[in-house]
Amino acid sequence: MDVSMENVRQLREKTGAGIMDCKKALLESSGDVEKASEWLRKKGLATALKKASRATKEGCIHSYIHAGGKIGVLVEVNCETDFVARTDEFQGFIRDVAMHIAATNPQFVSRDQVSTDVIEKEKEVFSAQAKESGKPLNVIEKIVEGKMDRFLSEICLIEQPFVKDPDKAIKDIITALVAKLGENITIARFARFQLGETLQPSQDMDQE
């Protein structure tokens, strides 16, 4: 079947994928833009999973100043090669991530960075709140589990809805970028400074 350039254009605007990938997705989806978008999403996820174990030793650190000098962000994003680190797509992503951090104030990059102390403290609070409802223990455990999952998704950068596209999480943006650039990409660390506030230890760029 023939693929119209209008459909290719729509799919590119919707997904950010390359022209050839869009054409292939539309061919696989009988020209349906929505189905093609889902096809590309699955392809991107598969690509990202294959590359997830590859070392990311290149990349760059970006600084962002917001609100007339009231908020500042430093963020390090890594990739596999200096070539990719210098592409417009990678540079645009790291700028967007820095802006997102300034706007949302995440506490950690991902769940594996959240300390046991933080998790236990929140569990205690949620458990105490749930017990006041008088519900059975098994129900309370599910309530606490749900609240903990929501709490962690709110404080971890890669799980937050992207400020420029709230329908996607930061990790979804990374997955799409990995598929497009062909390299593993990771957010290594960040620090967010707000005038008059003390830097959170978990965000300290000096900590390894």
| Assessment of whether the complete model's pTM goes beyond 0.75 | no
Cα separation, 205 vs 208, in Å, equals 8
Residue 148 has pLDDT above 80, yes or no: yes
pLDDT band at residue 188 under the 50/70/90 scheme: very high
Residue 1 has pLDDT above 90, yes or no: no
Q: What is the SS3 assignment for 131?
A: helix
CATH for the stretch 5-51 = 1.10.8.10
Q: Where are the domains of the chain?
A: 5-51, 58-110+156-203, 116-145
User: What's the maximum distance between 2 C-alpha atoms anywhere in the chain?
Assistant: 63
Q: Among candidates 86, 106, 89, which has minimal Cα distance to 98?
A: 106
Q: Among candidates 109, 127, 131, which has minimal Cα distance to 187?
A: 109
Q: Specify the CATH architecture of the domain 58-110+156-203.
A: 2-Layer Sandwich (3.30)
The pLDDT tens digits for 29-54 are 888 888 888 887 777 655 666 666 77
Give the gyration radius of the chain's Cα atoms: 20
Give the DSSP H/E element, type plus range, for residue 82: helix 82-85
Mean pLDDT, the chain, rounded, equals 86
pLDDT band at residue 154 under the 50/70/90 scheme: very high
- pLDDT of 197: 80
The pLDDT tens digits for 15-28 are 666 677 788 888 88
Whether 162 contacts 171, CB under 8 Å: no
- pLDDT of 203: 46
Q: What is the mean pLDDT of residues 97-111?
A: 96
Share of the chain above pLDDT 70, in %: 87
Helix/strand/coil (H, E, C) string of 94-115?
Answer: HHHHHHHHHHHCCCECCHHHCC
Q: Among candidates 13, 185, 187, 166, which has minimal Cα distance to 87?
A: 185
Cα separation, 75 vs 73, in Å, equals 6
Residue 205 has pLDDT above 60, yes or no: no
- pLDDT of 136: 80
Q: What is the mean pLDDT of residues 3-16?
A: 79
Share of the chain above pLDDT 90, in %: 48
- pLDDT of 153: 94
Cα separation, 132 vs 74, in Å, equals 42
Amino acid at 109: V
